[in-house]
Each structure stands twice: as structure tokens, then as C-alpha cells.
Amino acid sequence: MDKLIIEGGKPLKGEVKISGSKNAALPIMAATLLTDEPCVIRNVPRLRDTMTMGKLLISLGKDVDFNNNTAVIKPKGKLGHVAEYEIVATMRGSFCVLGPLLSKLRKAKVSLPGGCVIGIRPVDLHLKGLSALGAKIDIANGFVNARVRQLKGNNIYLGGVSGSSVLATANVMMAATLAKGVTIIESAACEPEIADLAKFLVAMGAKIKGIGSPHLKITGVAKLKGTNYRIIPDRIESGTYMIMAAATRSTITLRQGSFNHLIALVDKLSEVGTKVYQEKGLIKIQPKKIIKPVSMTTHPYPGFPTDLQAQFMALMTLANGVSLIIDKVYPDRFIHISELNRMGAHIRREGLSAIVEGVRNLYGAPVMASDLRASAALIIAGLAAKGRTEIHRIYHLERGYENLDEKLCALGASVWREKTS
């Protein structure tokens, strides 16, 4: 197993190219199950998660060819309806084959994805939405079994205790594209990745109105066709590099990054003292030496994304004062606190909040990556810290950051991999 070594304290400089969005690519790849025709999907990041989705599609009977960030997904024989535990358990995103399989084959058996280190992560909203379309659903032996004679459009409220659900919206929207009649989804997720999926479905011939809003109107069609589509840039990768620049007080540039999808972060960074602006199609990040403390609460889009909470906390450990961080999407997503504290941060948990007392310096230490975004927070801390940081279990990073080591080295960071003994 590899560990990542970072010699911290070096400012970064230069330009980094942002990859395509992982969280848009996963449901879009799943949506190819809705058609018998070939689909070409461009700007797909080469990540463990997108490869896992490719594997799942192959296991369901598709042919997947991945080359130069382009995935060509074609039918190959008869489509299967069973998504096995071995694949679905490794990645929650694979649960979004449920809606397309049910819609196309009228039956689906998909392993429950289970919980993970960031919280319990139930699937009740996915099942509520599909049941409202007429599916008969039962859960047995760790699998969701869904059947239907004909999906029928309905009015569905998809709000949950923590607001809208990204993948439940994806599942229900995909299922509704081939249902009979009109489906209205209220409290639909407005995340740009859901809007991207909706645009992909429209390019396949689906009829969807209200894209990007919490009110989606889907008029079922008889058939969807193949298409050629380019995925949006990854806003979480873009945001991670923005926060990294702020924490290391480095002026850097993002090429092909997200700006409009990150207004909540750009606004918080301006309070911190870091200017983020667009110029000639590029995104420039210009931090100040002093990092101001800024409190932050995560919310569904367009609020501050939970997937950037850990990274922002890493930045606040170096602020000139105290900040308060609350995660309203995953209230227990604080596993990174103890690892950041190993590096000299002063963070404590009180109820639903993390209270971060900024320190002058972080210091390199051996630390353990626990999930994808917590790992990114440790990278940011390691780059800003004095001395050497060793990050163990970095396979989490390969799930979500394309060519991370190369990109960091190109920015001038001193980063390399070693085998753990």
C-alpha cells in the first residue's frame, strides 16, 4: 500500500488543469442503461470511482471503452438487472443504477450501499420516489428488489430531514424519463451535477423542464437514444485547489475549473482574505498572508458544499482567531478533526459544531486518510505545515482526485509516494 509524503511549507505557483466532475460522471454513466444505442461521454475523470462504475456497467451487460477521458458505452448482449454487492458496496454512487434499470427492464435488484465513515446515509428517499412511480419494492438479504409493470408519472416530494438528496433525485429523474405520463419532483436537488445529468438525459431525447431548480417536470417518452456529451468541470476539485492556495498563501491559476458553481466558497474565501476571480477564461486565486477566521455551515447547493467542509476546516486551523464549522448535510462528518489535531491544530467538537482555534503553524506528522475529502484536507494541511507529513491509506484520494501527485508537483509542491512497510 502507498503512503504520500509531503515536505510542507513551500508556496505553490503556476497553473493546474481541473478534471471533469466525478459526481456528474457517475450518474451520467448509469444513465446509459436507459438506451440501447452507443453513448460517448467526454471529460470523464480517470478515477477509481469512474472505473468502478465502468465495471458495474460491464457486469450489467454493457461494453465500456475508456480512452483519453472519453468513455464509449455500448450495448453488448442482453442487459442484466442485478447490481452485485461486491461492486455497489465499494461505492455509494453505484446505487444510481437502480432508477435506470427499473425504468428500462421493469425490474432491478441492487445491493444496498450501506453506511460509511461520513454518516449513516439512508436510501429512504430513493425508495419513496420510485414507489411513487408505481414500483413494488422490498428489501431482502441486503438487496433492494424493485419491480413494476409500467412506471407511471406522479407528483413526488423528495425533501428529507437534511434537505434534498442528490442521488435520490438522480434515480427518480432517470426512472421518470421512460415512465408513462408526467412526473413532478418537488424539493429536487439543485446541484450542478444533477443539472448536468438532466442535460445529458435531454440530449438522449428525454423531456425535462426546470433543470437546475427544485421543481422538475419530466414528461415520459417511449425511448431514449444514444448521444455525445461533455461533462462539466469538477467543482469540488476546483474548490480543493482554491482552499489549498489560500492555506499555503500561494497565487495559482485554475484552467477549465468551476467558478459559477462555487459562489458560496468564493464568498467565504473573500471573507478569509483570499481573492478568487475570473480572467480570460482562467480562475485566479490570490491569498493574503493573514488568514481571517470565518465561520461556515454546509447546506445543499447553492450553499457551501459538504464535500469542501474538511478542506475549509484545514484552512481555518491556520486562521488568526476562532471559527465555528457546522455540517448540516452530514452532521457527523468530522472524522478529520483528530488527524488535523495530530498536526498541531486546535479543534474541538461541541454538539453539532467544530470549534477551530487557529494556530500560527501546523507541523508535519504521520496521519491516516479516512475518506476522500478528509484526505484532501490532510493534503492541504501537509502542504501548509512545517516539516514532513506522511499520509497513510491514500487510496481514498484515488477515488476523487485525478493525477493528484502530478498536479501538485507541477505546482511546485514537494510530494511523492512511498510503499508502507
Residues binding ligand UD1 (CB under 6 A): 23, 26, 92-93, 119, 121-126, 160-162, 165-168, 189, 193, 306-307, 329-330
For 260, other C-beta atoms within 10 Å of its C-beta total 10
- Smaller CB distance to ligand UD1: residue 14 or 115? 115
CB 317 to ligand UD1: min, Å: 21
- Smaller CB distance to ligand UD1: residue 26 or 34? 26
Give the ranges where 166-275 is alpha helix by DSSP (H): 166-177, 192-203, 235-247, 263-272
Q: In whole angstroms, give the CA distance from residue 317 to residue 331.
A: 19
CA angle 42, 46, 52 (to 5 degrees): 105
- Smaller CB distance to ligand UD1: residue 21 or 253? 21
- Smaller CB distance to ligand UD1: residue 293 or 300? 300
Active site members = 116
Residue whose cell numbers read 440530449 = 203
CB 360 to ligand UD1: min, Å: 32
- Smaller CB distance to ligand UD1: residue 193 or 339? 193
Q: How far is CA 63 from CA 72, 126, 367, in A?
A: 8, 27, 40
Can you read off the three cell numbers belonging to residue 373? 475529502
CB 28 to ligand UD1: min, Å: 11
Beta bridge partners of 283: 254, 278
CB 382 to ligand UD1: min, Å: 22
* Distance between start and end Cα atoms, the chain: 8
Q: In whole angstroms, give the CA distance from residue 389 to residue 376.
A: 13
CB 311 to ligand UD1: min, Å: 13
Query: DSSP of 29-84, one letter per residue?
Result: HHHGGGBSS-EEEES----HHHHHHHHHHHHTTEEEEEETTEEEEEE-SSPP-EE-
Whether the CA torsion 276, 278, 283, 288 is positive or negative: it is negative
Strand duo 207-209 + 182-186: pairing: unpaired
CB 18 to ligand UD1: min, Å: 17
Q: Residue 18 — φ and ψ, nearest 5°?
A: -85, 140
Q: Residue 88 — φ and ψ, nearest 5°?
A: -65, -35
Can you read off the three cell numbers belonging to residue 133? 412511480
DSSP character at residue 276: E
CB 145 to ligand UD1: min, Å: 17
Residue whose cell numbers read 444513465 = 31
